[in-house]
Structure 1
Amino acid sequence: MNIASVRRPIIPPTPPRAPDNLSFFGRIAVIRQNMIATWGQRAYEEEIIQGRFLLHKSFILNQPDAIRHVLMSNYENYARTPAGIRMLRPVLGQGLLLAEGHAWAHQRRTLAPAFTPRATANLVPHMTAVLDETIAKLDTRTNEPVDLREIMQRVTLEIAGRTMFSFGMDRHGPTLRNFVMEYGERLGRAYFLDMVLPVSWPTPMDRARARFRTRWTEFVTMLIAERRASGKKDGAPPRDLFDLMDESRDPETGKGFSDEQLVDEVATMILAGHETTATALFWALYLLALDPDTQEEVASETRGEHLDSMADIDRQKFTRAVVDETMRLYPPAFLIARAARGKDNVAGAEVSKGDIIMIAPWLLHRHEKLWDQPNAFVPKRFMSKEPPDRFAYLPFGAGPRVCIGAPFAQAESVLALARLIGAFRVELADATPVIPYGVVTTQPDHSPMFRITRR
């Protein structure tokens, strides 16, 4: 994709690339600290890289047709890896993100009505209310250092609470953030035994994760009980995602969710929704602070707009391109790992049962054969008449298991970025480069301070 640009685009900082000959144990050591720092230059240039992981072959796929095959054409042959299940099950249980086979199909069909464009449009007032309150609070903090990463976490958590339960998260927000931080800092990291032992063989960290899951499940159950206690008038239309999810029925079987299943679905939507969107918004604000000219383009597009409906959001074409480019450079899910259930042939490579397939949006989105200026921040590439190949850009995955909440997340991100940049000029108050690292999601290595001023 060729890009014509008058200005020289910014190239945000990244971790140094690993030596291509990094040893197995050297790679394991780096994985625990920063997964995206384990890949060498070859991974950004070659379409398929074959290696070995213990007794099995491993493949890194950067070829869109090969990715299409694994994620769409033959997706049933590829399951989550033991390490992936270990990382996610304690917080997501048997929810949609981890379910397989008939259980996944049932959950997907049952949840689908809650995430249609119409359902998302009905939730926009919840989003705008939170953003109005946030802007009012930020008005009192202009010209002083502010931690916009923490503020974005609060914003998206509040939106998650109101769109899910119709109540604010003032009381429960700190507890939920503590759960997220506790898990990400220690339990969400892959340890050597997590990667080599079958899921049925508990590792020492699995025991700690099990204790975490007990506390986490009790917390989500409490939130659901509080929401149910607030009631709903008979015959009244759904007022939030919880109503939609609680009342949804599988169109094929007529079955809804049990209370236990509902806990896992609610946990999945709250965590997958608020944490990934908060991270994407932080990176977008960071990039716009590095690139004042692009920031002014966003502000110009939002000027005079009410920004309180889905139609208003859809008109923010450039802001949407900024969000898309942010998720290209900093994909929330930086790695999709799958284990082959049986034999297959992927782009001429013979795959055996147990082989590991890695599709890394971090690599794919910066691949030198797929993108012009792959490391540069160029939002207008997403306004081109030649959009990127569907399987070269995977911020929400692809195929039957594409993220069901993608339209919600995109609307929330565009709305939040447009409203915030329309209200404030954002600058960095901290000159230290922010380096991305991969642990569960693509996180910054520290939270820089920003300075905001009213437009």
Structure 2
Amino acid sequence: MSIAELDDMTAGRRPLVPPTPPRAPDNMTAFGRMMAIRNSPIESWGRRAYEDDVVQGSFFGHSSFILNTPDAIRHVLVDNYENYTRTPAGFRVLRPMLGEGLLIAEGRAWKHQRRTLAPAFTPRAVTTLVPYMTAAIGETIDKLRAASHGPVDLREAMQRMTLEIAGRTMFSFGMDRHGATLRDFVMEYGETLARPHVLDLLLPLGWPSPQDFRRARFRKRWTAFVSMLIAERRAAGKDHNAPARDLFDLMGEARDPETGDAFTDAQLGDQVATMILAGHETTATALFWTLYLLALDSSTQEQLAAEVTGMAAAGTPEIERLKFTRAVVDETMRLYPPAFLIARAAAGPDTIAGLRVRKRDVIMIAPWLLHRHEKLWRDPNAFVPARFMTGTPPDRFAYLPFGVGARVCIGAHFALVEATLALAKIIGAFRVALVDKEPVVPVGVVTTQPNRSPMFAITPR
């Protein structure tokens, strides 16, 4: 589809502006801001955060900086990234689920893990995993077709599908027996332990908060569950004369190219937990938001369906040819970035955008804000997939659905392939609409989640 054709199709049509949380008042009190942060940090940001280049404030005795300029973001995440670590609250919230895996590790431990894991996530390696994806997507479509006579919870369906993909690509077996337990773990943690308590923000990392004791008990049960999955996979064995068949094989056989070291069992367990959680929850949420937007914007939904139909008529479509489908995914992740906030603590003094930064000051780079910033985007709150089809990509430090720099998400290509394939096949099979008109509002709790799961009506094409 050419840009001219796209312009013709969108001409005269007012773009969709989906519902968003209300912005914080400029005069919000410190207590009010604290309560908003606990409920959803998105609700703590006011007008200035969407308009100014840098917003300086205070955060429990230290200065805080919200950065909205590409140059400042590049400085923190690329040029001087080793000076900026996760905040104590970030460690408290993520460690119980992810241990010392790639998302949490710092310094030499992180470099070792990144070097060791990188070969498992190259485009070539991901291509070998696509059959697992397409099989699980096809089974999901069959189940949706059987349920299409009544309302359908597409959020749950996407969670089940991406969990199945995570299980098959990780272990070569489905998650029929373990999926419900894993989802229970994710829901339990998200609803009770992922929201930071005020003491999580105030206490030094070495001083446990009341929530930390509950998180430690959770982690004991969670790691036992992950160990059980690994033991089951190892018991299944593999043909040692065959090439690696899943991510578990790839990670188990991986060696640090500099030291030759492999992962220990504990490290492997943390990597498995990280990949399963990051690999299914964020993609499921992105797909939910995409389907929600398409249900609100039937014209864009039909454009996508037309692209899929055209590709199918020409034979099995290659994912690289699904240009508009990918643009819809990209635009959805602009409006609903999987990680809505990147928070870092300064390990030492620095200067950012001409401002003095002291040790332990807090730096916030919020894709939620950056992707909706008035100075960086035209119609920033509108759903306009065509903005990703102009041939001119956005500034790489203004669009951060997977982060940027050395710590960019290692599974970004995997997630994009999975989401694009799934969306093409689902919209190619069904028309989707919402059963009710009550707005669905994003909430920031680790990821950008919906405040409720609406029911959808799906009609086979």
Partner Cα distance (2:128, 2:34) in 1: 46
Provide closer, same or farther for how the CA distance between residues 37 and 310 of structure 1 changes in structure 2, counting only shifts above 3 A. farther
Name the structure 1 match of 2:364: 358
Matching residue's letter, 2:358: S
Q: Secondary structure at the residue paired with 1:59?
A: strand
Deviation at 1:304, TM superposition (A): 4.9
User: 2:308 & 2:426 partners in 1: Cα distance?
Assistant: 10
Q: Structure 2 counterpart of 1:379, which letter?
A: P
Report whether the alignment pairs 1:232 with 2:238: yes
Give the corresponding residue for 2:254. 248
Decide whether the 8 Å contact of 1:157 with 1:173 is kept in 2: yes
295, 298, 301: which one pairs with 2:301? 295
The code of the aligned residue for 2:36 comes to V
Alignment of 1:5-44 (within 5 A): 5-6=10-11, 7-44=13-50
How many residues are aligned here?
A: 452
Which runs of no fewer than 5 residues in structure 2 stay unpaired? 1-5
Q: Structure 2: how far apart are the matches of 1:229 and 1:36?
A: 45
- The corresponding residue for 1:199 is 205
Q: Are residue 128 (structure 1) and residue 134 (structure 2) matched?
A: yes
Q: 1:182 matched to which residue of 2?
A: 188
Matching residue of 2:460? 454
Moved more, 368-377 or 129-138: 129-138
- Counterpart amino acid of residue 91 in structure 1: M
Is there any run of 5+ residues in structure 1 with no aligned partner, and where? none
The Cα shift of 1:235 comes to 2.2
Q: Distance in 2 between matches of 1:255 and 1:150?
A: 39
- With structure 1 as the length reference, what TM-score do the two structures score? 0.98
Residue 273 of structure 2: SS of its match in structure 1?
Answer: helix
Alignment of 1:79-90 (within 5 A): 79-90=85-96
Alpha-carbon RMSD: 1.4
Give the partner amino acid of 1:425. R
Match of 1:47, as an amino acid? D
Instruction: State the shift of 1:385 in Å.
Output: 2.5
Task: Name the CA distance, whole Å, in 2 between partners of 1:164 and 1:410.
Answer: 17
Runs (4 or more) in structure 1 with deviation over 3 Å come to 304-307
2:311–2:317 contact (8 Å) kept in structure 1: no
| 1:401-412 aligned within 5 A | 401-412=407-418
Q: Does 1:92 align with 2:98?
A: yes
Aligned mates of 1:242, 1:141 — CA distance in 2:
33
Alpha-carbon distance, 1:54 to partner: 2.1
Could you tell me how far 1:386 is from its partner in structure 2?
A: 2.3
SS at match of 1:368: coil
8 Å Cα contact 2:195-2:445 kept in structure 1:
yes
- Of the structure 1 ranges 61-70 and 4-13, higher mean CA displacement relative to structure 2 is found in 4-13
Q: In the alignment, is the contact (CA less than 8 A) between 1:310 and 1:411 conserved in 2? A: no
TM-score, reference length from structure 2: 0.96
Partner of 1:50: helix, strand, or coil? strand
- Give the aligned partner of residue 216 of structure 2: 210
Q: Percent identity?
A: 70
- Say yes or no: does 1:119 pair with 2:100: no
> Paired residue for 2:381, among 370, 375, 386?
375
Alignment of 1:240-389 (within 5 A): 240-305=246-311, 312-389=318-395
Q: Is the 8 A contact 1:306 1:312 kept in 2?
A: no
* Residues 24/391 of structure 1: CA separation in 2 closer, same or farther (3 Å cut): same
CA distance in 2, matches of 1:153, 1:353: 40
- Deviation at 1:305? 3.7
Q: 396, 399, 406: which one pairs with 1:400?
A: 406
| Deviation at residue 437 of structure 1 after TM alignment | 0.6
Shift of 1:141: 1.6
Name the amino acid aligned to 1:345.
T
What's the secondary structure of 2:318's corresponding residue? Answer: helix
In the TM superposition, residue 143 of structure 1 has moved relative to its aligned partner by: 3.5
